[in-house]
Amino acid sequence: MQMFFNYNWMVREDWYRWCAELSEEELLQNRTGGVGSILHTLFHIVDVEWSWIRILQGKTDFQESFDGYKSLNQVRKLDAEFHLEVANFVNNWDDTMENKLIYDTLPDGTVETLTWGEIMRHTLAHEIHHVGQLSIWARDLGKKPVSANLIGRGLSTYSKK
């Protein structure tokens, strides 16, 4: 579990560096798909990750508004603030947490039973999905997207020896 969160965080950091080469107008331009713009998508990734982790910890969740984070520096600052809590939870993950249950009430009143492991994997897949959208938008801008390659990032247990 930890390896894939570390992977997502590395790729996200690469995207932040990539975004630094774009104008604010390009970062905020509405695009087809996703949540609208490149910057809003990065904000959304950070917010969703933090929200799910807070829910698993039994803490209150609230939706941050993108209105207060319309610059790359503001999104990176928010990410850094949220990351402390997220990384602490992820780095303390163990197998006993995998099948803990959480009950989610849907808007129609239906109650869904989810496992913590399922939520953690959903959170990982959510970011990977949006990174794919960022890659398409990068190509639309005529730019090379960030590599999504997991290989060569030094994440395996073997590469840390």
Segment-wise mean pLDDT, segments of 10 residues, the chain, 161 residues: 96 98 96 92 97 94 87 97 97 97 92 97 97 97 96 80 54
Helices 38-56 + 2-19 axis angle, to 10? 150
Decide: 5 and 128 in contact? Cβ < 8 Å.
no
The size of the chain, in residues, is 161
What does each C-alpha distance from 93 to 1, 3, 87, 117, 126 come to in angstroms?
8, 11, 10, 10, 19
Decide: 135 and 19 in contact? Cβ < 8 Å.
no
Decide: 130 and 41 in contact? Cβ < 8 Å.
yes
Alpha helices per DSSP H over 57-115:
72-91
Q: What's the pTM value of the predicted model, to 2 decimals? A: 0.93
Domains and CATH numbers, the chain: 2-160 (1.20.120.450)
Give the pLDDT confidence score for residue 104 in this predicted structure.
86
Q: CB under 8 Å to 82, separation ≥6 — which residues? A: 46, 47, 49, 50
Give the residue from 119, 114, 131 showing the smallest Cα distance to 45: 131
